[in-house]
Amino acid sequence: MSPASDTAPAVLLATDADWIFDEVAAALGGTHDVHRVREGSQVSRAVTRVEPELVILDLQIGNMGGVATSLLLKQEARAGRLPDTPVMLLLDREADEFLASTSDADGWITKPLNALALRRQAQNLLDA
């Protein structure tokens, strides 16, 4: 977000769990415009429609998980079909960090979500 901008940065969250949406919206909602899709397969179209500055992917979402969705977004960005948007994964456990490291994601945090850690990671990715 540029310093002169009056609009909050858009964040696209992909999760089918209402509690995750509630926690992310509570942590980021005051300073970010949080949009939601419920399936990984909807993320590419939503990126085109919403033009988010950050994409947050739950590791376990519907028919296309967070790792596959992250890989797809980064592949489409390298091909010039989507903008290169930072991606954050929400991991189920610390052992999932290996999966995250293979996903081309720009960052991740482990559940249970900590609002301060989530805000800090989101801001770090937005500032990068």
Return the half-sphere exposure (C-beta side, CA atoms, 13 A cut-off) of residue 59: 21
Residue 48 lies in a domain: yes
What CATH number did the domain enclosing 98 receive?
3.40.50.2300
The CA distances from residue 73 to 94, 112, 128, in Å, are 23, 25, 18
Domain count of the fold of the chain: 1
Residue 95 lies in a domain: yes
Tell me what percent of the residues of the chain surpass a pLDDT of 70. Answer: 95
pLDDT score recorded for residue 1: 35
Residue 108 lies in a domain: yes
Assessment of whether the complete model's pTM goes beyond 0.85: yes
CB 104 within 8 A of CB 11: no
Residue 3 lies in a domain: no
Q: How far apart are CA 18 and CA 15, in angstroms?
A: 8
Quick: pLDDT tens for 61-77: 878 899 999 999 999 99
pLDDT score recorded for residue 3: 41
Residue 20 lies in a domain: yes
Residue 30 lies in a domain: yes
* Domain coverage including residue 115: 10-127
Residue 118 lies in a domain: yes
Residue 14 lies in a domain: yes
